[in-house]
Structure 1
Amino acid sequence: MLKVVSLRCEYARNPIGIGVRDPRISWKLQSDARNVSQAAYELEVACDANFNDVVWRTGEVRSTQSVHVELSGLQPEARKRYYYRVRAWDQADQSSGWSETAFWEMGVLEPSAWKAKWIAAPKDANADADAERVPMLRRTFEVKGAVRQARLYATAHGLYELELNGRRVGDSYFTPGWTSYKHRLQVQTYDVTDRLRSGDNAIGAYLGTGWYSGHLTWNNKPDFYGDRQALFAQLHVTYEDGSEEIVTTDERWTSAGSQILMSEIYHGETYDARLEQAGWSEAGFDDRGWQPVDVIDGAVDILVAQENEPVRRTEEIKPIALIRTPLGETVIDFGQNMVGWVRFTVEGEAGRQVELHHAEVLDRDGNFYTDNIRSAKQTIRYTLGGGRPETYEPRFTFQGFRYVRAVGFAEPIDLSQFTGIVLHSDMEATGSFECSDPLVNQLQRNIEWGLRGNFLDVPTDCPQRDERLGWTGDAQMFIRTAAYLRGVAPFFTKWLRDLAADQNAEGGVPFVIPHVLSEGEHSSAAWGDAAVICPWTIYLAYGDKRILEQQYDSMKAWVSYIRAQGDNEYLWNTGFHFGDWLGLDSKPDTYIGATDRDYIATAFYAYSVSLVQKTAAVLGKEEDAAAFAELHARIKGAFTAEFVTPSGRLSVPTQTAQVLGLTFGLLEGAAKERAVAKLMDLLQETKHHLTTGFVGTPYLNHALSANGHNDAAYKLLLQQDYPSWLYPVTKGATTIWEHWDGIKEDGSFWSRDMNSFNHYAYGAIGDWMYRSVAGIDTDESLPGYKHILIYPRPGEGLNWADARLETMYGEVRSYWRREENGEMEQQVTVPPNTTATIVLPGATPDTVREGGDRLAQVAGITAMEVDERGVVIQAGSGNYRFTW
């Protein structure tokens, strides 16, 4: 039976407060039959859940499209809810019937609709000793009757947490998120209908410094965007009689200092429970000692609706051990390097102070180690109110840690009183990977935890030290892996809009987004290329053409910037570049690998131009596509003249140089053959270990598998000694390290100041594990897994692998097992409304069976051929089990 399920609007289930003026609808088909595709659909939009007031309908549309369907001609009204439903017909004209009803709700769309004012604690309230104290703001208001609907729209300069009638509003954290605050500031929407009561009500807010005015970067710069926290909120109350009342932030609010004496993202939080004011966000509270707020200037034309998934609590972790270190310190081990904070319960006399210090690792003697977090204090200080058990957790700070040093707690410490709270952007989990090697499975878990720790509203480089910035290079290196693990399209859509906003007038891209470094710190090759690689990757993984439309000017501006930099317009041989950052072939006392930086820069120049050319073609910009094709050809010619000898040898003899030349399609004929041979020679010289850094590592195994050396790629994956992906696993890593030998064999550390143990860049190997080991990929001509490529490449060292990916169409699965006698089993799941090319590696048609039947007899298989890879099958949707 055919069903329409999993309705989404702009990737989300039943979103409220969206700012997309022309929202798109997606759905999935469900069927037990094979080779099911959509032949037609109908979509209806109404203002009521019963569809008595239909405002837009398609009628029956003959189309296979079920992802990102635009509602052409519909002009949604601000702050209005719309209900929608879909039905579909398959190729046999079987109808699904109407789906369950879903909805979306628009947010505030025009600056003129904002009636609120920006308010802040009075200037003198934070003077001297109270300079770091978190302010509380509040006001009361009257609800004059039965409420049909209430929506609260809020944002802040800094971070905010709202309370309404004594209860926290929403489940999001670190709101309004981190954007390019001078250009864009997100607004969150909350349904507070059930929170209001007839008569007096009260609303309150805490305001933290956050990224807006808190300390940022290794220079601990405060006030990057401004020096005052401020709140902007607007509550719309719709009564049952249809009338509406608006409650806003204005001069009627009052302010006082809170019990939070300091709260900084890097440094932690200081809390004095003796200063709590019970009932402060309730209507009956006596606020006669509070001061009037200041109404301050603030922009409203930069306000945008929430674009990505907010940060939420996603998991709780209990400690696994209590450690007494050789230095006599009490340390709690949570067993997992995580990001978030610790909730704890403590009891004692008023005024007693307890502290938590956070660290990722212990040193080789087993002592608590914090040198690698540099100036970030990561310290929680709590002063007891006394007389009762007190449970506490922070508000406006997060820590990266596995170990917590507990100071001042009564002995013996009860581990049940401590819980690790995991926080990150709440992206939907989409992928899983398992195989026969337990160490590789742990590596996969480490990659996943690296994403969870570093995708906290922006894709940070590390979550623990005085950095935590949106490094562009790290993001582009990892984005394809991230797209297997989680639904990252909204996350990167938001971040890429900030990238475009922070691009300079010449098209240069800052090293970090949002841009909080000096003006001259921008436009390194492989870092700035995030402007092109990231939107193209989202298009490939989700079939999202709109992100290419929205980012196209930014993409073009980046390659135009490069074109203006070099000694000639086809080479990039000027400016600062990070090069093959942390390459193991670097010279002493430098972080930059041996591969010539102008080689890397020109290679990425060519690669970005090729992607912009493809983007122009997708968008139907034929003149642009032709111009970029010619530019690419000229860059490739200049690259060959500069870096390839007449006999076909690359002039740069490093692993990374060979890898980039091969992966970016810059080498042909003899030059390509020699690069493959040279890469193998270099691997032999290192006894089959990598020397690549940030630039070469993401592409290394792909280059090997694509050029006839899949066995070498497996050997690299499965190496256990330094340097390798599994070496950190053998040392107990639970996340990806910044350095291959962050902890050396003797237990000493690679470095004191550049040694993060949660730094996801090298986790980009996950892309190869999904695409080559398991063999799940998408066809570039039908992206978003509309046509799926299933080509697993078994290799020595693994007996089986199993990967699943929840795509926009449904679950894709690729599983293979190789028995000792050479028999192979391959299971494949192809979701409805998609097709797949399935490669059965090494198979021959006469030996393959599917469910016991010969391939010619199998329903769902539409074509078959044999090539050098094995048997190649064209198939429709369904579950298949092949043996040979």
Structure 2
Amino acid sequence: GDQVFAPGWTSYEERIQYQVYDVTSNIQQGENVIGAYIGDGWYRGQLAWGPNNWAHYGRKIGLICQVEITYQDGSKESIVSDESWQGTMDGPITMNSLYNGEHYDARKEKIGWNKYGFDDSDWEQVSVSTESADKLISTQTVPVKRIEEIKPVKIWKTPNGTMVADMGQNIVGWVKLKVNGPAGTQVTIRHAEVLDNDGEFYTANLRAAQATLKYTLKGGGVEVYEPRFTFMGFRYLAIEGFPGELTEEHLTGVVIHSDMEPTGTFECSNPQLNQLQHNIQWGQKGNFLDVPTDCPQRDERLGWTGDAQAFVRTASFNMNVAPFFTKWLQDIPIAQDSAGIVPFVVPYVMEDFRASAGWADVVTIAPWTMYEVYGDRRILSQLYPAMKKYVNYVQQSAGDNCLWEGGSVFGDWLFYKPELKFWTEPDGHTDPDLIATAFYAYSVSILANTAEILGENEEADNYRKLFLNIKKAFNKAYVTPSGLILSDSQTSYVLALMFDLLEDAQRKGAVDRLVQNIRNRGNHLSTGFLGTPYLCRVLSDNGRA
């Protein structure tokens, strides 16, 4: 098929997806051969930053294959991967890494390697894994595919002499190279999202990710290369070693992402808002590559839970993300520990295992959003035990006073903080304990609604009583009778209003103060990750949009 990066990324220690393809059209009369390239991917490759984040799931990679044949007379035959299969490590792909790129030496290509009659006498017999097949599950999501191709809009030399191509759009995928030159010539392509202030190639934001392709020519005519086992987030390319004059004909950007159907559009008379929506859509494409990631370019690209819950409602407007999130959400209970903690990233590949308000709450917010948008109760039923487990953990942490103190690791991440020279201007800081308690209340209210939908009426009543107790404690600790809130930040008012944590008599004062705060900043936001998604809705719901 046209799928890339199969079998996708799941919590491999518990779940590995298998794919089913109709290969009838590939079968030829006579002898046929099955061949496959196998790369490091998420299983054996680097995940996250640091020196020890290789081979998180294991060092041995492999293939499981089963061909089911039904003959015209109705008889059937199965061909399976077993000890009779052969393989070699001496192929043209000499290095592959999701973060660092791929090295390909065309001189090492095995012509006809996947055709009948190829001499594989120097190949080795494969070893057969003894692992159980119980981890295998059918594919539960849409595949990652090649979606479109784009051409460079400009090629030039920077002031220091670097040959740079501008694709005109920040994309996620790779570049397809067309080249003709002598054998042994090596073309190097580096990737970047931006140029620096001097117009030079800039890669510092990639941190340790090399994001580099190296292609060694075999010679003898026009060669076309594109990688198999890496992807980059980029707009600009730096090309070294290209033989001859480089033109737009030689470079093609290949856009990849999970194959989600577009469902929502937005357009208005304001060009800036239209550009914002354009950027949001491309940001979703680039970060929805089998899991919802935080970034597609640096040495991270992980399924950060806070990013996912903050964006899930917008994502479901832009595209049909039901299969995408349904698959990813199944990995949350696997990542969750026995106490109920939901970690920062899913699948879990980090050493730091803590819960943080607004991140761990993905276990309640994302399934509930899926239900609100698509009306499918199954995702609520599947995640309900994990939702309860998490809320019970927070309840124990908060204790009888119903305040989740110390529950926010990241706070309102990336809230507005002025530069040192402007520190006379107040920043957008919100008390972390206020944030934690607000999200605690919100998850409890979601859990109460979920329990009612699933027919767990007694549990629904208990969670509603708990919500009222949290609301009372929140008011006592953080809110004045007139509606002023501790921290006096935009996010503090947004969360309190959005999560129904204020009494009716307090709402008008809180809304007025929020609007005043925004106007005092010249109609600018000071919210971060957790406040921004709800700000416009809160203003709209209260007649102040």
Give the TM-score band, short-chain normalised.
Answer: over 0.9
Q: Is the Cα contact below 8 Å between 2:100 and 2:212 reproduced in 1?
A: yes
SS of equivalent residue, structure 1 residue 236: strand
- Structure 2 letter corresponding to 1:242: G
Distance 2:271 2:483 in 1: 42
Q: Per-residue displacement from partner, 1:62-118 (whole Å, max 9, x unpaired)?
A: xxxxxxxxxxxxxxxxxxxxxxxxxxxxxxxxxxxxxxxxxxxxxxxxxxxxxxxxx
SS where residue 616 of structure 1 aligns? helix
Q: What displacement does 1:205 show?
A: 1.2
Q: 1:615 aligns with which of 425, 430, 450?
A: 450
1:686 and 2:517 matched = no
Aligned partner of 1:653 in structure 2 is 488
What is the aligned partner in structure 2 of residue 631 from structure 1?
Answer: 466
CA distance in 1, matches of 2:191, 2:482: 56
Kindly report which structure 2 residues correspond to 1:2-401, keeping only aligned pairs within 5 A, or say none.
Answer: 170-220=1-51, 221-257=53-89, 258-401=91-234
Residues 567 and 486 (structure 1 numbering): CA distance in 2 closer, same or farther, change over 3 Å?
same
Distance 1:188 1:558 in 2: 32
- % identity of equivalent residues: 52
Cα separation, 2, equivalents of 1:649 and 1:382: 62
Q: Secondary structure at the match of 1:271?
A: strand
Contact 2:183 2:219 in 1 (8 A): yes
Give the C-alpha shift of residue 194 in structure 1: 2.0
Which position in structure 2 is the counterpart of 1:580? 412
Q: Partner of 2:47: helix, strand, or coil?
A: coil
Cross-structure match for 1:114: none
1:290-342 residue CA offsets vs partner (Å, 9 max, x unmatched): 11111122231111100010000111111100121111110000000000000
- Who is 1:596 aligned against? 431
CA distance in 1, matches of 2:208, 2:157: 25
User: Residue 566 of structure 1 contacts residue 574 of structure 1 at CA under 8 Å; is this kept in 2?
Assistant: no
**Aligned residue type for 2:174:** W
For 1:181, give the aligned amino acid.
Y
Q: Please state how far the C-alpha of 1:545 moved relative to its aligned partner.
A: 1.1
Structure 2 equivalent of residue 463 of structure 1: 296
Contact 1:313 1:421 in 2 (8 A): yes
SS of corresponding position for 1:470: coil
Secondary structure of the residue that 2:197 maps to in structure 1?
A: coil
SS of the residue aligned with 1:419?
A: strand
Conserved 8 A contact 1:579-1:593:
no
Structure 2: distance between partners of 1:457 and 1:706: 34
Cα deviation code 1:9-38 (max 9, x no counterpart): xxxxxxxxxxxxxxxxxxxxxxxxxxxxxx
Please give the secondary structure, in 2, of the residue aligned with 1:434. coil
1:527-566 maps to which residues of 2 (within 5 A)? 527-566=359-398
Q: Which residue of 2 aligns with 1:833?
A: none
Distance 1:646 1:361 in 2: 49
- Quick check: 1:186–1:306 contact (8 Å CA) kept in 2? yes
Structure 2 CA distance, aligned partners of 1:410 and 1:363?
Answer: 27
8 Å Cα contact 1:587-1:593 kept in structure 2: no
Aligned equivalents of 2:353 and 2:138: distance in 1? Answer: 30
* 2:511 is aligned with 1:676: yes
Give the distance between the partners of 1:199 and 1:362, measured in 2 at CA: 55
Q: CA deviation at 1:236?
A: 1.0
Computing the radius of gyration from Cα coordinates, the structure with the larger value is 1
How far apart in 1 are the matches of 2:504 and 2:331? 41
* Aligned partner of 1:499 among 332, 335, 352: 332
Q: Describe the superposition over 1:121-148 as per-residue Cα deviations: whole angstroms up to 9, x where unpaired.
A: xxxxxxxxxxxxxxxxxxxxxxxxxxxx
Aligned-partner Cα distance in 1 for 2:406–2:254: 46
**3-state SS of paired residue (1:176):** coil
For 2:458, the aligned partner's letter is E
- The 1-side partners of 2:266 and 2:407 are apart by 41
1:596-651 Cα offsets, whole Å, 9 max, x none, are 11100000011111111111111111111111111111111111111113454212
Amino acid of the residue matched to residue 616 of structure 1?
A
Q: Aligned equivalents of 2:162 and 2:39: distance in 1?
A: 31
> Which residue in 2 is equivalent to 1:23?
none
Partners of 1:234 and 1:248 within 8 A in 2: yes
Q: What's the CA shift string for 1:566-591, capped at 9, x where partnerless?
A: 243621112452110011148979xx
CA separation in 1, counterparts of 2:308 and 2:401?
Answer: 27
Contact 1:586 1:594 in 2 (8 A): no
CA RMSD after TM alignment: 1.6
Q: Tell me: CA distance 1:243–1:539, structure 2 relative to 1, closer, same or farther (3 Å).
A: same
Structure 1 residues 587 and 606: CA distance shift in structure 2, 3 A = farther
3-state SS of 1:200 partner:
coil
SS of alignment partner, residue 434 of structure 2: helix
Q: Is the 8 A contact 2:8 2:290 kept in 1?
A: yes
Secondary structure of the residue aligned to 2:3 is coil
The structure with the greater share of residues assigned to strand is 1
Number of matched pairs: 539
Larger mean CA deviation between 575-584 and 603-612 belongs to 575-584
CA positional deviation for 1:443: 1.1
Q: 2:265 aligns to what SS in structure 1?
A: strand
AA aligned to 1:323 is W
Deviations 1:216-269 (A, max 9, x none): 101151010001111111111111112111111110011112100001000000
SS at structure 2 position matched to 1:364: coil
Against the structure 1 CA distance between its residues 252 and 409, is the aligned structure 2 distance closer, same or farther, given a 3 Å change threshold?
same
Are the equivalent residues in 2 in contact too, given 1:567–1:573 (CA < 8 A)?
no
* Alignment of structure 1 residues 393-542 onto 2, 5 Å: 393-518=226-351, 520-542=352-374
The amino acid of 2:387's aligned partner reads M
| TM-score normalised by the chain length of structure 2 | 0.96
C-alpha separation in 2, matches of 1:586 and 1:356: 37
CA contact (8 A) 1:586 1:593 kept: no
5+ residue gaps in structure 2? 422-426
For 2:361, the aligned partner's letter is D
Alpha-carbon separation, structure 2, partners of 1:423 and 1:651: 45
Aligned partners of 2:60 and 2:535: how far apart in 1? 47
- The letter of the residue matching 2:464 is A
Question: CA offset at residue 521 of structure 1?
Answer: 2.5
CA apart distance, 1:682: 1.4
Q: 1:383 Cα shift?
A: 0.2
Q: Alpha-carbon deviations, 1:659-714, whole Å to 9, x = none?
A: 1101111112332122112112212321221111111111111111111211xxxx
Residue identity opposite 2:73 in structure 1: D
Quote the residue 2:424 is aligned against.
none
Name the structure where helix makes up a greater proportion of residues.
2
Q: Distance in 2 between matches of 1:680 and 1:346?
A: 58
- Whole-angstrom CA distance in 2 between matches of 1:542 and 1:575: 31
Contact 2:406–2:432 (CA under 8 A) maintained in structure 1: no
Does the 8 A contact of 1:567 with 1:574 survive in 2?
A: no
Name the aligned partner's letter for residue 545 of structure 1: R
Contact kept? 1:266, 1:397, Cα under 8 Å? yes
Amino acid at match of 1:608: S
CA contact (8 A) 2:187 2:216 kept: yes
Q: Deviations over 1:168-192 (max 9, x none)?
A: xx11000000001111110000111
Distance 1:354 1:195 in 2: 33
CA contact (8 A) 2:175 2:252 kept: yes
The code of the aligned residue for 1:286 comes to D
